[in-house]
Chain A
């Protein structure tokens, strides 16, 4: 068993867990069994049925309740005397301040999104508290330790942003199924069932003269004299027939691409749409599949079947859920929405010669579903606790970043590596200034705040200063006059701000909650490529860590040659590993459209996208090479 000294360090420690889901349940259990006695746990989510295959502290009867709270109660059942404090809240809430974090000996993350991880990273740096990070996807897992000043912080190696697609790919030239899903979800579904006041690119056609918005708006409104079935057929013809014809009329677009074919209702044998069965599933959800007798979500429907589902789902929304029309955003747990989006995406795919997919697959893509099993989480939780104990014992030279692989490499399922040293040009933990190229006469402060400060830099409550002048800040206790000034500033272009921002200006940006600050050098640039840089701004400045980092692959008695080390470090930049042949967008806010489009090669690789797990492609391949020797 553990030494007395270890046991004592464990017993007297106070740990914070962020996340009570897949990793969280296993971790809380393991911490409790390992002798930890003061555990705090934060999670904003409630329990869903699909959690129950691995989040074993929860029961069906708990669906809808707070994960943090139920996890706590479940563990207290077998360890009644320990102290577990649960918070049903968002870790980004101001109550979890730097002072809050300072109370803990170590912070253990079991999160599922990049945004929260960056936030916790900054708070841990500010508080000087060690952080153990982790992530899992299917059979793959990873654990890493972050000690301020000693190892990399979580952001030393820039993590790829969630995948987005250029607007024109979605609206005009899809080539992959995921493009069709994004179209069906963010454009068509949003247009028909979502907020009418939202801007929608559905009828946007580049280089097209006659996209009169008034005319387009009318198309999607149900007319006085038409019933829901006629309405459905008219919409179908419009988006799958007419819109395609219009797109085809622009020869230039199709010079090097396969042309889509328009699909009209008359082309598809849907027969009479009489309701064959009840339109509810076992669980009481409205379902077009149920109506049509389509039982298996793993089946790939024909064009005719997809069309039937399209019409039936549309009808069920209008007839049985009229109150929802105009209020809905896509929700992967809304069966009818998933059916509609699957059908619409498939019809569009059919038009463009893209392979069709089953509802099951489509749901995974549209809902950004991460596949998951219990065992990987259990393994990772064990590794987290091992690293946490090292932290408590200040055993700083023995920390490991550990990858949990799907298949053994060099006969090992777990691949440990020594942590990297901090990246000297990491703008988060080493205060290196960044550069921003922008057209200071065209871009507004608002663009800068939304796309750079909040989105790229991950700040929630930014304070932007030019010298001693505050250009913008967010807060509860601001003077009404100041708030008015800041609002006005947002609408001004940079060069016309009260303290003009021009080439050579240095802005300092702070987030007081994260206690994170950085400097940005502004460089004026006139032109930006509309496709490659649609935001009209280019942020740069952090560089990859140098290849001279101290890094060793530590095996169980296996040899490590220097040649392997050099190769390993150069490429271990945390690129995503291709996990499956189904690509999916990873935008956690559901938006697949490129607002900050740095994606200039949307068709480069058919990689699946998961912003929560980073396995070095080359670490894998180099270990495979070694094995084949």
Chain B
């Protein structure tokens, strides 16, 4: 939604009103056209997925072929703990079902398989990749594949253990501009 049109739809404006007041309509439009790949559906990643789905990105593709475990449930509010609901589904599939409900305007889907074996044309579909729950070797491998592409893909890894967390960010050549507000003279004096 909002991909082809210049302006946000009435529905988007109503839903995203409070955050458009933070980052502006233009940023909201660009968010709606962005595509995310997320690997490893543990607690911290569940939080992240919640946040970007609420923000109204274009799509989120989840990767995690593991089956549900007790540990997975402990910090993941996206998975209902009932036995029947979880049967036969992977972590990614369960999280996908929940995430869709947070914002029906975001395309949430599942990708299966070992993504570190996928080629550049797969990664090229995305604007940002978030890796968790995989080895350093795999993280490096995927990072290299992304950096070889002409399109700049924002690359993040994130992990949490107990009360310690780590985020790694690779934005390659990242240029940005900053707005500074200057004090303005008021013309009419009282």
Contacts and interface: CB of A to CB of B under 8 A. Distances in A.
Interface string B81-107: 100000000000000000001111000
15 contacts: A50-B15, A53-B55, A78-B79, A80-B81, A138-B21, A256-B188, A257-B190, A296-B7, A369-B18, A370-B18, A371-B18, A373-B19, A374-B55, A378-B47, A603-B190
Nearest to A35: B74
B189 A78 contact: no
Nearest to A299: B7
A298 interface: yes
A281 B103 CA distance: 22
A87 B56 CA distance: 31
A52 interface: yes
A603 B21 contact: no
A298 B81 CA distance: 44
B15 A49 contact: yes
Interface stretch (B127-135, B145-153, B168-176, B179-187): B179-187
Interface of B: 7, 10-11, 13-23, 25, 43, 47, 50-51, 54-56, 74-75, 77-81, 101-104, 162, 181, 184, 186-190
A282 B10 CA distance: 7
B109 to A, nearest CB: 20
A258 B187 contact: yes
A534 interface: no
Contacts of B188: 175, 256-258
A282 B19 CA distance: 21
Contacts of B54: 53-54, 56, 374
A248 to B, nearest CB: 15
Contacts of A175: 186, 188, 190
B13 to A, nearest CB: 6
Interface string A69-103: 00000010111100000000000000000000000
B106 to A, nearest CB: 12
A295 B11 contact: no
Chain A interface size, under 10 / 10 to 19 / 20 to 34 / 35 or more: 35 or more
Contacts of B17: 50, 53, 369
Contact of A33 (B77, B186, B190): B77
Given A78-B80, A175-B186, A50 B18 contact: yes
A413 to B, nearest CB: 11
Chain A CB within 10 Å, residue with most, of B7, B56, B78, B190: B190
A330 to B, nearest CB: 17
Contact of B22 (A75, A281, A373): A373
A440 B11 CA distance: 57
Interface of B is mostly: helix
A79 B73 CA distance: 10
Interface centre among A56, A79, A581, A603, by most B CB within 10 Å?
A56
A583 to B, nearest CB: 12
Contacts of B184: 606
B18 A295 contact: no
Given A32-B77, A256-B190, A373-B55, 12 more contacts: A53-B15, A54-B19, A59-B101, A78-B81, A138-B22, A281-B10, A364-B21, A369-B18, A371-B19, A371-B21, A374-B50, A375-B51
Given A53-B16, A54-B54, A374-B55, A33 B75 contact: yes
Interface in A579-623: 581, 603, 606
Contact of B19 (A1, A53, A80): A53
Interface string A361-399: 000100001111111001000000000000000000000
Given A50-B15, A56-B102, A364-B21, A29 B190 contact: no
The 9 closest A-B pairs by CB, nearest first: A371-B21, A372-B18, A138-B22, A258-B188, A371-B22, A374-B54, A257-B188, A373-B19, A282-B10
B72 to A, nearest CB: 12
Nearest to B43: A33
B117 to A, nearest CB: 33
Nearest to A137: B22
A59 B186 CA distance: 45
B103 to A, nearest CB: 8
A57 to B, nearest CB: 9
Contact of B189 (A54, A139, A256): A256
A139 B19 CA distance: 10
Contacts of A64: none
Contacts of A53: 15-19, 54-56
B19 A78 contact: no
A297 interface: yes
A227 interface: no
A578 B180 CA distance: 12
Contacts of B21: 138, 364, 369, 371-372
A298 B190 CA distance: 32
A374 B51 contact: yes
A150 B147 CA distance: 54
A173 interface: yes
A79 B82 CA distance: 10
A581 B181 contact: yes
Interface in A24-68: 29, 32-33, 49-50, 52-54, 56, 59-60
B30 to A, nearest CB: 15
A481 interface: no
A283 interface: yes
A49 B14 contact: yes
Contacts of B25: 298
A257 B21 CA distance: 32
A79 B11 CA distance: 32
Nearest to A50: B17
A9 to B, nearest CB: 16
Contacts of B14: 49-50, 283
A378 B43 CA distance: 13
Contacts of A50: 14-15, 17-18
A139 B23 CA distance: 10
Contacts of A372: 18-19, 21-22
- Interface centre among B22, B104, B181, B187, by most chain A C-beta atoms within 10 angstroms, is B22
Nearest to B85: A77
A603 B188 CA distance: 10
Given A1-B162, A56-B102, A78-B80, A373 B18 contact: yes
